[in-house]
Amino acid sequence: MNSVAERVVPKAFVWRRLHSLMGFWLVLFLTLHLVTNSQAALWIGDDGHEFVKIVNVLESLPYLQIVEIFLIGIPILIHGILGIKYALSAKHNASGGRGKKPRLSYGRNRAFNWQRYASWIILIGIVVHVVQMRFLDFPKDVVFENKEQYLVRLSFDPGLYTLSQRLWVSLYPAEEILDMQVPKEVDFQSLFQDATDQEEYSALHKSRARDLQEEQEYRNWVIALKQFDLAPTELVAAAPSPGKAMLLSVRNTFKSFFWSIFYSVFVIATCFHAFNGLWTFLITWGALLSMRSQKSMIPVCISAIFILSFLGLAAIWGSYWVNLRY
C-alpha cells in the first residue's frame, strides 16, 4: 500500500496548474478588453458610441472595484508572480549555446523563448498601463448643477472644438480655471438650526436649502477643477458619462507617437503570450492529446493572435488618427 506522502499531490504541480488556470482566465479578459477598446476606432463616424455604451455599462456594475480586484487584479498578480519565477528558472535552448549546450531551433523551442521574452514586456506594460489609465488619467467624478460630471485632463488640439460639441463635453482651459475663485464654505448648520423647531413643511427653507446646495456644488466643482495642475497647453474636459470621459482619455493618450508605439509593442506581446499560452493550456489540461490535434490547433491560435492584435492596434492607431481626430 502506498504511503500518505506518496499520495500527496506535489506543490509544484498545484502551483503550475493554478498559474495555467489564471492564464486562461486572463485570456478571456484580454479578449473582452481589446474588443471593447476597438469600438473607439472600428466604426468610423460614430464617435466611439459603442465604446461609450460598453464602458458606461461596466462602470455601472455594483461593487465594481471589488469585482476588479478579485476577477482581474488577483489573477494578474498570481499569474505574474508565478510567471516571473518560471521565467527566471527557464532554460532557453533555441539559440546560442556556442557548443556548450544543445541548440534546438524548432518552432516550439523558439515559441518557448518568445513566451518568456514577452512576459517581461507584459510586466512593464501592465504596471505602466494600470498607473496611467487607472490612477493618473482616470476620470474624476463630481456633482455639478445636480448632475454627475467626469473630469479628465487633455492636451489641446483643434479637433476638440468639434468633437466636444458632438459628445456634449465642456472644455475648461488652464487660464479659465486659474481665474476661478473658490467660494467660502457653505454653512448648512444655520439652516438646520432654524428648522429644528418646525413641525411643518416650509417652502422658504426648501428654497434656502436648494440655494445652499447649489453653492456647495459650485464650490466642490471649482475645487475639483483646480486639483488638475495644468500646463498652458492643457485643459480639463467635463463629460456627462464615464464612457465619454474615458473615450477622450484614450484619444488623448494615442495622440502621442511614443505612447502609440509603446502600447503597440505591449499589445502584440500580450496577444502572442496569451494564445501561445492557451495552446499550452489545452495540452496541459488534456484537451489536445494527439499530435494531430496539437498541430491543428496551432493555426487557430496564430489566427487569434492576429485578430486580437488587430483589434488592439485599431484602438491605438484608429481612435485619434482616423476616427476621432476632428
* Residue 278 falls inside a structural domain: yes
* 199 three-class SS: coil
Q: What pLDDT is attached to residue 103?
A: 61
Q: Are residues 101 and 187 in the same domain?
A: no
Specify whether 165 is located in the same domain as 305. Answer: no
6 located within any domain: no
The per-residue pLDDT for 290 is 93
What's the rounded Cα separation, in Å, for the pair 234 and 238?
A: 13
Q: For each successive 10 residues of the chain (326 residues), what is the average pLDDT?
A: 64 93 97 96 92 96 95 96 89 63 68 91 97 94 94 97 96 96 83 65 80 91 96 97 97 97 98 96 93 94 97 96 93
Three-state secondary structure call for residue 114? helix
Answer yes or no: is 271 within a domain: yes
3-class DSSP state of 268: helix
- Give me the CATH number covering residue 44: 1.20.1300.10
Q: What are the phi and psi torsion angles at 234 (to 5°)?
A: -110, 165
Q: Cell numbers of 279, please?
A: 495552446
The set of cell numbers assigned to 186 is: 457653505
Q: Is residue 197 in a domain?
A: no
Note whether residue 5 is domain-resident: no
HSE of 237, CA atoms in CB hemisphere, 13 A: 31
pLDDT at 110: 84
- Are 305 and 235 in the same domain? no
User: 124 lies in which domain range?
Assistant: 11-138+252-323
d(CA 141, CA 100): 60
* DSSP reduced 3-state for 172: strand
Q: What is the pLDDT of residue 23?
A: 97
Same domain as 259, residue 130: yes
The pLDDT, as a whole number, for residue 51 is 97
> What pLDDT shows up at residue 217?
93
**Most distant CA atoms of the chain, gap in Å:** 95
- Please check whether residues 115 and 219 belong to one and the same domain: no
Asked whether residue 97 is domain-assigned, the answer is: yes
pTM: 0.90
